[in-house]
Amino acid sequence: MKAIEIAEETGPQIALRLVRRDEPTPDQTLTGGEGVVVEVHATGVSFPELLQTRGLYQVKPPTPFVPGSEVAGIVRSAPAGAHVRAGDRVAAFPMLGGWAEVAVAPTFMTFPLPEQLDFAQGAALILNYHTAWFALRLRGRLAAGETVLVHGAAGGVGTASLQVAKGLGARTIAVVSSDEKEQVARAAGADEVVRADGFKDAVKQLGGADVVLDPVGGDRFTDSLRTLNEDGRAVVVGFTAGSIPEVRVNRLLLNNVSVVGAGWGAYVLKHTEVNQQIGGELHALIERGVVAPLVGARLPLEQAADALMLLEERRATGKVVLDVRT
């Protein structure tokens, strides 16, 4: 089969190779046991793969390896008794190996793909939307009627979080860096949009936030805490700004606010039953038309390096997807 490998840890422009490899067998899941073999039609491009081209992500397989955490396609084979079977359209999360014509994913990480979504949207579904649900609902305890502030709101996690928050009945405030990204955030359901520069005062004027969802980190974190209303929760999701913020905990005491971490992958690999629960909640939001992944760029598999450069240069909006079969 055709696949893209990370051959060396030298950055997105030179680390990748287009290769031919043997197709994976059902027993080659990363979690052990027999998995679901998927004929891949589209595969997602995410920040972890960018970091992996430099050896900077916590999941660090020996090179060469095929990256790609999530795919959408058609089931070739599934274990007996699984909730999907050969011929089904699915979204699946193999964790690695997705940038290839065939991938194998754990059964608990495979989800029927609703008819409303095409394969590109299916490849945009699991990492960002499951993270958004996990971060907002399970970690941030977001409730209907509350206000959520979403950083990096035009990005993959950001657009997913805006849609999920709307589905949960929340009011949404998006933080973005440009006019183009403002339009994307509005299309994803932002009620209000503010610029990253000076966002704290703008958000306070809008009444503050009950939950902050932060995939960006860096120096804006302290200002995020200042926007929280009493009993507010800041949910740490990622660090695209490049630096990990530190918190002076007296701020938490003075304002009666909390900071919580949301590490979706580590949690759901341990509590595997949560995956189908989140999948079911998202399925309902898809059927209501609230969740519909925004695919900002679609490139052929062969242009994986260009896809990574969109993330590297902060040019990506929504989800970047590679078409594997055209």
What are 42's strand-pairing partners?
A: 72, 323
| Interaction between residue 177 and ligand NAP (CB under 6 A) | yes
Give the residue, chosen from 112, 226, 265, 269, that forms a contact with ligand NAP under the rule CB under 6 A.
Answer: 265
What are 172's strand-pairing partners?
A: 148
| Interaction between residue 184 and ligand NAP (CB under 6 A) | no
- Stretch touching ligand NAP by CB under 6 A, among 11-19, 33-41, 68-76, 308-316: 308-316
The size of the interface with ligand NAP (CB under 6 A), counted in residues, is: 30
Give the residue, chosen from 67, 181, 227, 307, that forms a contact with ligand NAP under the rule CB under 6 A.
Answer: 181
* Residue 179: CA count within 13 A, CB half-sphere: 0
Is residue 64 reached through a cis peptide bond, with omega within 30 degrees of 0 on the bond before it?
yes
Q: What is the DSSP letter of 100?
A: B
Alpha helices in the chain (DSSP H): 47-52, 119-122, 131-133, 156-167, 179-187, 199-205, 221-227, 250-255, 264-270, 273-287, 304-312
Closer to ligand NAP by CB, 104 or 311: give it.
311
Binding mask of the shown chain, residues 11 to 50, with x at each position contacting ligand NAP by CB under 6 A: -----------------------------------xxx--
Closer to ligand NAP by CB, 86 or 244: give it.
244
| Interaction between residue 245 and ligand NAP (CB under 6 A) | no
For residues 4 and 157, give the distance between their C-alpha atoms in angstroms, rounded to a whole number. 24
Q: What is the DSSP letter of 242?
A: S
The closest residue (CB) to ligand NAP is 155
Interface with ligand NAP (CB under 6 A): 46-48, 127, 131, 152, 154-158, 176-177, 181, 196, 215-216, 237-242, 262-265, 311, 314, 316
